[in-house]
Amino acid sequence: MCDKIYFDNQRFNFRNIISNFLDEDLEKLHKTYKFEPRFLDMVAGKNEYELLKNIYKKIITTKTFIALWDLFVKETIKPYFDNEKILYQKIPSLRIFPSHHSVQYVEKITEGFNKHQDSDAPFFHPKFETNFWMPLTECDHNNDLYYQNNDWFRRVDIRTNEIFVFDGETIHGNRVHNESFNTRCSLDFKALKLKDYDTSVLSDKLVTKKGQKYKQKDWYSTQYYYNEL
């Protein structure tokens, strides 16, 4: 399942919030900030850019940002689920893919891409989740997200007022090497109808998050990962 929804990116201007904090256009972050190493191994979330850590600390985990995030989910994501009760990711995941840098976040690179399903190790996302991907910058064929569509691995190719929606079984991923002249920034997150939350498919297998291990049945819960709306 793949879909696309529109949202008001002026009212919910996550791009500007981050850009204003960094005092730079997001596409040009590589010109202002130093991203080291040039090849970043992010498998299991064991490494990440220092700039990304700072944005989480100073922006994404603040009460102001979270209030806007909760309102965005209420007005944009909940209607996608027919306004039924939902579970959604407490805070979104921010990705930065610097120009002329390389990022690997799967254990095995396939044809130059980080191809994977979110249910793969080490994150073991439950397949009852729906994935949402929101570019904060315009993308090109070198830095876009790709997904499997029948026999083609193709670009998502959406605008910054659009969100790409896909299920947990969709193979997806971006190139390992960003050969674009632009840095790509994006938000992604999970959500689902509350009635689809099924504890019977969650187990004791270990999920790795930022180097820490949690039981899958514990991590994917309202204690750690979801809010209910």
| Mean pLDDT score, 108-127 | 92
Check: pTM over 0.85? Answer yes or no. yes
Domains: count for the chain: 1
Residues of the chain above pLDDT 90, percent? 89
Task: Quote the pLDDT of residue 44.
Answer: 67
| pLDDT > 80? residue 158 | yes
Q: What is the pLDDT of residues 66-98, one digit of tens each?
A: 999 999 999 999 999 999 999 999 999 999 999
The whole-angstrom distance between residue 146's C-alpha and the CA centroid of its chain comes to 13
| pLDDT > 70? residue 188 | yes
| Mean pLDDT score, 191-218 | 94
CA dist 151 → 39, 125, 154, 155, 165 (Å): 29, 24, 9, 13, 19
| pLDDT > 80? residue 137 | yes
Write out the residue range of the structural domain in which residue 116 sits.
2-228
| Mean pLDDT score, 19-46 | 92
**Measured between alpha carbons, how far is 44 from 63 in angstroms, rounded to an integer?**
27
List the structure tokens of 58.
């100073």
**Measured between alpha carbons, how far is 41 from 108 in angstroms, rounded to an integer?**
11
97: domain CATH number is 2.60.120
Task: Quote the pLDDT of residue 122.
Answer: 83
187 phi and psi, to 5 degrees? Answer: -115, 145
| pLDDT > 90? residue 175 | yes
Mean pLDDT score across all residues of the chain? 95
